[in-house]
Amino acid sequence: VQPHPAPRRADARPATADVPARRSRRGHGRITLDDVAALAGVTKITVSRFLREPDRVAAPTAARIRDALADTGYVRNKQAELLASGRSRIVAALIPNLAHSIFGETVHALSEGLQTEGFELLLASTAYSLEREEDQLRALLGWAPAAVVVTGRRHSDGARRLLLDAHAAGTPVVEVWDYRRDDAAPFAQIGFDHAKVGREMARHLLDAGHRVLAYVGSPIATDFRARERGAAFVAAARRAGAEVIDTTAAAGDPFDAGRAALAALLGPARRRVAIACANDQVACGALLEALDRHHVVPRDVAVLGFGDYPLGRQLRPALSTVRPPSRAIGEAAAQAVVAALKQDAAPQGRALACTLIARGSTRTEG
Amino acid sequence: VQPHPAPRRADARPATADVPARRSRRGHGRITLDDVAALAGVTKITVSRFLREPDRVAAPTAARIRDALADTGYVRNKQAELLASGRSRIVAALIPNLAHSIFGETVHALSEGLQTEGFELLLASTAYSLEREEDQLRALLGWAPAAVVVTGRRHSDGARRLLLDAHAAGTPVVEVWDYRRDDAAPFAQIGFDHAKVGREMARHLLDAGHRVLAYVGSPIATDFRARERGAAFVAAARRAGAEVIDTTAAAGDPFDAGRAALAALLGPARRRVAIACANDQVACGALLEALDRHHVVPRDVAVLGFGDYPLGRQLRPALSTVRPPSRAIGEAAAQAVVAALKQDAAPQGRALACTLIARGSTRTEG
DNA sequence: TTGTAAGCGTTATCAA
DNA sequence: TTGATAACGCTTACAA
């Protein structure tokens, strides 16, 4: 641990004409522009200018300011900066779940894309609750963000109102992880059509020759996108004349839920089924349970997941799954937001594609 | 989609004595306190007071203000609020990795603990880079946070300087996920002793009768905590007279890295080994590879992970692992920060315990 | 090239 | 119970 000089603070503020010694409502002890300026022998506006446009101050002055900044360990106060400049370089994003989730890559890509353009990402999670979404959205809007990114196209009336107000005030609003061509929503959508994915999942299992199809849905009632996939899966399977079982995974550990779902589906009365799951974790649980029970995969039991988590590739047979364009969504959202802000126009929506990855859990290899 | 009234904005600002019609540097179209106040027929300070202490305005006035707030869809500007009040209710936290990580529970618990006390969490990730930590820390400090939470006790000189300055200015600083009893660091530490965990991991494998021990470390050179566990593991195993192999997992998919590590360790020349891994994903990869190769687990190949990810429980045999107090760290950090801010004192550090969970991958059951 | 004055939207202080 | 005024720390606009 290196010792280091305590932060220097100018004792006397630069005398501002005949203003009485500042009544110091609170100092919080932090270094301000005035402190740096005093040390550099200039006024704060020169330091401020140096911070924004270094080339516009004379070289010797710049050198003194540089020293003063390093000496004091000055950190610019964002609140004051944003309030004064009127334009925030903050993008607020609202995601259902931060920890251990499918949204990780989206957030990462979004963050990178924004950072390279000089924007900061302010993140909050909704825990899949519409009510919480509204609360968090209100909190985020308090930061006066330059743009807003939300997940999905379903919101509470209050949240929708907030988004529409922001939109009306010229703040770009982007909805990610969903896309409906026919949707007349006012916000740009960047994502994919979940109903279409559900149909493709059914089609894949039907094409593999299965005639008994099950969907194991998410235990989260407000995961509208998973529900949409499930509903479309069920409808498509029924249309094709298959026997369809529509179930929901138990709450709690998703692997255990997948195991339990498989156990419930199979028994003396039923020995063959093709299962599509709301996510790969549930699917891995189902697949592991099927293997433990010595069912023949994929002939008797086929399992199809969603999300393309790294684990699925490791099982034997490996898990078939749908890979969502997680990273592309984040990249596209960053691009859309940045472009909209630069051109002062409404952001552009974009449809992205999922990829169905057929592996051993649904298809006999070779 | 319900139609809703466009946000109302008072056309004429309340006449502020003889100030000329505002020169309107920029309007950003957002609703301000003045707009709400004009609609309610009061001045902005009354609205501000209502927002902070509703009981201190007369009932009829309060009702009018309430209506005006709802009508306008007013959202309080955080920048102005924080700047004016001088005390930010923001806690800044710096975590190595947000997506898919062991820190998820810590962040979640921290967030919950702070939220119930009226604080907001501002999160940033370091991607395990000291350089990035310093950058991100500087950015976070720009928000003038009421407290700072960082991961670990290793920082760049610059970051340390920033933390010490904050500390000196009375801002509580907490280091999480590490704890050294002998450490004379100025910051409160909330976590556990990684060296001790490394020794316990070695002890567990030795107690199970193994005499050839391997450590598969993290590919992230700057994951100091994993390195500390590894170094202590190796030292303890050597002290006990065991043959020790100290390796590092390949970068990329951790499951694949675990598989590759096992493949490299075992061959014609060596048929028995007990492997400890930097994390459960690598350990699961190693365990799956051992099973695919028909090694006898745990007699010939034993595998011990770290992290207690849900997947480990699902394998057969299940993965032995160390469960870190992830949630407890987040809770304790929230408590420490809140207590420090309330009492205007330095935050208190705390040692928390890991639990070694012996399952079938290291111990013959029954 | 540098500085002065005003103001961003809110809150603390004090007065009415 | 309500309001006038002066900050908070910084940036914009304009002057020197």
Please state, as a whole number, how many other Cβ atoms lie within 10 Å of the Cβ of residue B16. Answer: 10
- Gap from A111 CA to C7 C1', in Å? 33
Query: Which whole number is the average pLDDT over B141-147?
Result: 94
Query: Which whole number is the average pLDDT over B327-356?
Result: 96
Contact A79 B79 (CB under 8 A): yes
Span B157-184, pLDDT tens digits: 999 999 999 999 889 999 999 999 887 8
Measured between alpha carbons, how far is B366 from B363 in angstroms, rounded to an integer? 9
Span A216-254, pLDDT tens digits: 999 999 999 999 999 999 999 999 999 999 999 999 999
pLDDT band (50, 70, 90) for residue A88:
confident
The one-letter amino acid code at A289 reads E
The per-residue pLDDT for B338 is 96
Q: Work out the percent of chain A whose per-residue pLDDT is above 90.
A: 81
* Cα-Cα-Cα-Cα dihedral sign, residues B130, B179, B200, B195: positive
The per-residue pLDDT for A268 is 85
The per-residue pLDDT for A355 is 98
For B71-124, the DSSP string reads HHT----HHHHHHHHS---EEEEEES--TTSTTHHHHHHHHHHHHTTT-EEEEE
Question: Does A176 have pLDDT greater than 50?
Answer: yes
Q: Over chain A, what HEC string results?
A: CCCCCCCCCCCCCCCCCCCCCCCCCCCCCCCCHHHHHHHHCCCHHHHHHHHHCHHHCCHHHHHHHHHHHHHHCCCCCHHHHHHHHCCCCEEEEEECCCCCCCCHHHHHHHHHHHHCCCCEEEEEECCCCHHHHHHHHHHHHCCCCCEEEEECCCCCHHHHHHHHHHHHCCCCEEEECCCCCCCCCCCEEEECCHHHHHHHHHHHHHHCCCCEEEEEECCCCCCHHHHHHHHHHHHHHHHCCCEEEEEECCCCCHHHHHHHHHHHHCECCECCEEEEECCHHHHHHHHHHHHHCCCCCCCCEEEECCCCCHHHHHCCCCCEEEECCHHHHHHHHHHHHHHHHHHCCCCCCEECCCEEECCCCCCCCC
Measured between alpha carbons, how far is B301 from B212 in angstroms, rounded to an integer? 10
The per-residue pLDDT for B267 is 84
pLDDT band (50, 70, 90) for residue B25:
very low
β-pair type (A321-323, A355-357): antiparallel
Task: Give contacts of A 209-248 with B, CB under 8 A.
Answer: none
Residues of A in contact with B104 (CB under 8 A): 98-100
Question: Does B343 have pLDDT greater than 80?
Answer: yes
Among A238, A285, A239, residue whose Cα is nearest residue A265: A285
Report which secondary-structure segment, H or E, holds B191. Answer: strand B188-191
Task: Give contacts of B 2-21 with A, CB under 8 A.
Answer: 2, 4, 6-7
The per-residue pLDDT for A98 is 78
The one-letter amino acid code at B316 reads R
- Asked whether residue B19's C-beta has any atom of DNA/RNA strand C within 7 A, the reply is yes
Residues of B in contact with A107 (CB under 8 A): 98-99
pLDDT band (50, 70, 90) for residue A195:
very high
- Gap from B260 CA to C16 C1', in Å? 80
The per-residue pLDDT for B28 is 62
Task: Give contacts of B 256-285 with A, CB under 8 A.
Answer: 259, 281, 284-285
- The answer to whether B207 and B236 are in contact (CB under 8 A) is no
The one-letter amino acid code at B360 reads G
- Asked whether residue B33's C-beta has any atom of DNA/RNA strand C within 7 A, the reply is yes
The per-residue pLDDT for B17 is 31
Question: Does B95 have pLDDT greater than 80?
Answer: yes
Query: Which whole number is the average pLDDT over A133-160?
Result: 95
- Asked whether residue B85's C-beta has any atom of DNA/RNA strand C within 7 A, the reply is yes
Q: What is the nearest nucleotide to B60, using C1' and CA?
A: D1
Span B311-320, pLDDT tens digits: 999 999 999 9
Question: Does A152 have pLDDT greater than 60?
Answer: yes
Residue closest to C13, CA→C1'?
A25
pLDDT band (50, 70, 90) for residue B16:
very low
In angstroms, the separation between the Cα of residue A77 and the nearest Cα of chain B is 5
Given its phi and psi angles, is residue B76 left (phi above 0), alpha (psi -120 to 50 degrees) or beta? Answer: beta
Measured between alpha carbons, how far is B306 from B311 in angstroms, rounded to an integer? 12
Contact A2 B160 (CB under 8 A): yes
The per-residue pLDDT for A21 is 31
Measured between alpha carbons, how far is B148 from B166 in angstroms, rounded to an integer? 8
Residues of A in contact with B88 (CB under 8 A): 79
The per-residue pLDDT for B101 is 79
The per-residue pLDDT for A264 is 97
Which of A11-15, A34-38, B194-198 bottoms out in mean pLDDT, i.e. has the lowest? Answer: A11-15
- Asked whether residue B49's C-beta has any atom of DNA/RNA strand D within 7 A, the reply is yes
Burial of A235 (0-12, 13-18, 19+ CB in 10 A): middle
Question: Does A23 have pLDDT greater than 90?
Answer: no
Query: Which whole number is the average pLDDT over A80-101?
Result: 88
- Asked whether residue B24's C-beta has any atom of DNA/RNA strand C within 7 A, the reply is yes
pLDDT band (50, 70, 90) for residue B237:
very high
* Cα-Cα-Cα-Cα dihedral sign, residues A174, A178, A180, A183: negative
Query: Which whole number is the average pLDDT over A47-52?
Result: 94
Interface test with A, best of B72, B311, B315, B319 (most A CBs within 10 A): B311
The per-residue pLDDT for B98 is 78
Contact A99 B108 (CB under 8 A): yes
- pTM of the complete model beyond 0.85: yes
Among B273, B361, B357, B283, residue whose Cα is nearest residue B321: B357
Span A256-274, pLDDT tens digits: 999 999 999 998 888 899 9
In angstroms, the separation between the Cα of residue A241 and the nearest Cα of chain B is 35
Please state, as a whole number, how many other Cβ atoms lie within 10 Å of the Cβ of residue A22. Answer: 9
The per-residue pLDDT for B88 is 86
User: A17-26, A229-238, B338-347 — which one is most confidently predicted on average?
Assistant: A229-238
Task: Find, in chain A, the residue whose alpha carbon is nearest to that of B140.
Answer: A78
Query: Which whole number is the average pLDDT over A30-36?
Result: 91
Average pLDDT, chain A: 90
Q: Among all chains, which residue has been given the structure tokens 């670990």?
A: B152
Average pLDDT, chain B: 90
Q: Over B122-166, what HEC string results?
A: EEEECCCCHHHHHHHHHHHHCCCCCEEEEECCCCCHHHHHHHHHH
- Gap from A41 CA to C10 C1', in Å? 31
The per-residue pLDDT for B365 is 65
- The answer to whether A96 and A127 are in contact (CB under 8 A) is yes
Q: Which of residues 29-88 of A touch strand D (CB under 7 A)?
A: 30, 32-34, 44-45, 48-49, 51-52, 76-77, 80-81, 83-86
Contact A79 B82 (CB under 8 A): yes
Measured between alpha carbons, how far is A209 from A299 in angstroms, rounded to an integer? 9
- The answer to whether B39 and B8 are in contact (CB under 8 A) is yes
Span A274-323, pLDDT tens digits: 999 999 999 999 999 999 999 999 999 999 999 999 999 999 999 999 99
Among A38, A66, A68, residue whose Cα is nearest residue A54: A66
pLDDT band (50, 70, 90) for residue A28:
low
The per-residue pLDDT for B185 is 84
The per-residue pLDDT for A14 is 36
User: Quick check: bond before A298 cis, omega within 30?
Assistant: yes
